[in-house]
A and B are shown apart, each in its own frame.
Chain A
C-alpha cells in the first residue's frame, strides 16, 4: 500500500516529466493504434474476398457423363473448394431468359442452345487459401478431357494479395517501431526518475527495504503513465474517427467499410500499460545490495 502511495506521490511530485511522457506516449500510441486499425481493416476486408472468388469450368459439349463426374470429384476433393455447382446449358439458358424477360425472341433466334455445360466452383475464404494453390488446382482441372476452359480472376487476386502483403509488412514494421519507441520513452523517463532518487533508494536499502519494495513504485509509475498514454491515444483516435471518418464517408463511400470495434478502446490503455511497464522493468533492472 505504501508503494502505491509512493508511486502516486512521485507522479505528482514529478508532474511535468510525467505529463510530458504521458503526452508523448499518447501521440505515439495514437499512431501505433491507427496502424493497428489499418492493418485490422485491411485483413478484415481482404479475408472476405476469396469467398467471393469463384471460377467457371467450361465443359466440352461432347464430354461423357463419366468424364464430367471425374472433373466434379476432382474439384470436390480439393481442400480449397467450398462448393461445386453443376450448371447445365439448359439451366444457363433459363437464367438468360430471365435476364431478357419479354425479349426472349432474341434467344429464340439462336434455334439450338448456344450455351455450354459448366461447373461453378466457389473457393473457401480461409487464410490459408493461397492464389498459387488455386492456380495449381485450375491447371490440374484443365488436363481433363471434358474441360474446355477455366475462367478465373487470377490477375486481380494476385495484385490484391500483393497489396495485402505489402500493407502487412509495412504495418508490422511500423507498429513494431512505434511499440519500441513507447517502451524506450517509458524506459528513459523511469530511468531519470530512478537516478534522481538514487540517494533515497540507497537509504531505503540500508533501512532494510526489499527489492520488490524499491522496484514496485517505479513499475507502477511506468504502468500508470503507459495506461494514461494509451487512454489519451485511444481518445484521440476516437475523436479523429468521429470527425474525419464521417466526413470521409460522405465524400467517399468506400470508407463506410472501415470498422473500429469498440472493445479496441478498452484494449488500447491495456497495451499502453504493458508497454509502459515493460520500459519501467528494463529501466529499474536488477537492484543490487
Chain B
C-alpha cells in the first residue's frame, strides 16, 4: 500500500530525508518515530504529494508519485486521509463545515454528507461542538476534528502526524481506540509520533527516523 524506495528530500542542500526505503502492507498499522526534526513530517509530505522527492520513488494507494500527472493529484489525495500536525482547519467555517468540506469537494450530496459528518463527530465524541468554530475549541478538540475530517472520506490510507500531540493520557487512549477501529475496517494507517507510549507493546512495526535516515525498524 505504501512503498518508499531510496526516497530523499533536500531543503537547500540540507537533507530532511535521506535514502529512506520501507514498505507497508495493505491493512497494516505502523508507526514512524524519532526526535523532533528527524523528518517525520517531511516523509508524510512526500506521501501526500505536498512535496516531491528529490531522489527515489514512492508508491501509495496504487499511484506512483514520480510520474503522476498534476490533474491526478486530487484523486490520489482523496484516497489518503491526513491528520496534519498543524491541523489545517478553516477558522471561518464551523466544525461541521470543516469536516463536510472533504465530502463536498467530491460532490457528495448534502444529505449523505450530513449523515457521514454526524457519524464521525460521534466517533470522536464532538457531536455537541458541531456548530462551534475551531478557534473557540481546545487544542485536543481541534486535533479530534482533524482526525474526524481525515476519517470521513473513508480513505484507503491514513497518515496521522503527531495525532496525540495535544491530548492528555485519557484522550490519547480514545484516539488510539479510534485508529484501531478504522484499521480493523481495513484502512492502512501510518502514525508519526515521538510519544513511545503510543506503540509500546502493540506488536506493530515501528520505523525509527534519525536526522532523515531510517535508523532501525522493529516490532514494538
The residues of A that contact B73 with a CB separation of less than 8 Å are 289
Chain B window 142-158, contacts with chain A (Cβ cutoff 8 Å), 1 for yes, 0 for no = 00000001000100000
Contact: A207 with B48, CB < 8 Å?
no
**For residues 131 through 174 of chain B, which have their beta carbon under 8 Å from a beta carbon of chain A?**
149, 153
A177 close to chain B: CB less than 8 A:
no
**Which listed segment binds B: A96-104, A198-206, A261-269, A271-279?**
A198-206
Kindly state the interface size class of chain A when it binds its partner.
10 to 19
With beta carbons under 8 angstroms apart, the residue of A200, A202, A204 that contacts B105 is A204
With beta carbons under 8 angstroms apart, the residue of B49, B82, B88, B107 that contacts A289 is B49
A277 to B34, CA, bound (A): 50
A105 close to chain B: CB less than 8 A:
no
Given contacts A200-B90, A288-B70, contact A206 B77 (CB under 8 A): yes
A203 to B48, CA, bound (A): 12
**For residues 205 through 219 of chain A, which have their beta carbon under 8 Å from a beta carbon of chain B?**
205-211, 213
The residues of A that contact B126 with a CB separation of less than 8 Å are none
CB-CB nearest in chain A for B50: A206
Chain B window 93-107, contacts with chain A (Cβ cutoff 8 Å), 1 for yes, 0 for no = 000000001101111
CB distance from B90 to the nearest CB of A (A): 6
Mostly, the A contact residues are helix
Chain B window 42-80, contacts with chain A (Cβ cutoff 8 Å), 1 for yes, 0 for no = 000000111000000000000000000011011111100
Contact: B105 with A213, CB < 8 Å?
yes
A2 close to chain B: CB less than 8 A:
yes
A289 to B75, CA, bound (A): 12
CB distance from A1 to the nearest CB of B (A): 8
Contact: A207 with B77, CB < 8 Å?
yes
A209 to B73, CA, bound (A): 9
CB-CB nearest in chain A for B149: A207
Count A-B pairs with CB separation below 8 Å. 47
CB-CB nearest in chain B for A286: B70
Kindly state the interface size class of chain B when it binds its partner.
20 to 34
Most buried by B among A2, A200, A204, A213: A2
A2 to B110, CA, bound (A): 9
A107 to B75, CA, bound (A): 98
With beta carbons under 8 angstroms apart, the residue of B70, B71, B75, B92 that contacts A208 is B75
CB-CB nearest in chain A for B87: A203
CB distance from B65 to the nearest CB of A (A): 11
With beta carbons under 8 angstroms apart, the residue of A200, A207, A289 that contacts B102 is A207
A211 to B84, CA, bound (A): 22
The residues of B that contact A208 with a CB separation of less than 8 Å are 74-78, 102, 105-106, 153
CB-CB nearest in chain A for B100: A2
A247 to B160, CA, bound (A): 74
The residues of A that contact B74 with a CB separation of less than 8 Å are 205, 208-211, 289
Contact: B48 with A206, CB < 8 Å?
yes
The residues of B that contact A211 with a CB separation of less than 8 Å are 71, 74
A203 to B150, CA, bound (A): 12
CB-CB nearest in chain A for B113: A2
The residues of B that contact A289 with a CB separation of less than 8 Å are 49, 70, 73-74
**For residues 181 through 237 of chain A, which have their beta carbon under 8 Å from a beta carbon of chain B?**
200, 202-211, 213
A200 to B101, CA, bound (A): 11
CB distance from B157 to the nearest CB of A (A): 13
- Can you list 13 A-B contacts with CB-CB less than 8 angstroms, sorted by A residue number? A204-B101, A206-B48, A206-B50, A206-B82, A207-B102, A208-B74, A208-B75, A208-B77, A208-B153, A209-B105, A210-B74, A289-B73, A289-B74
Q: A203-B101, A206-B77 are in contact. List 10 more A-B contacts (CB 8 A).
A: A206-B48, A206-B50, A206-B84, A206-B88, A207-B105, A207-B153, A208-B75, A208-B76, A208-B105, A211-B71
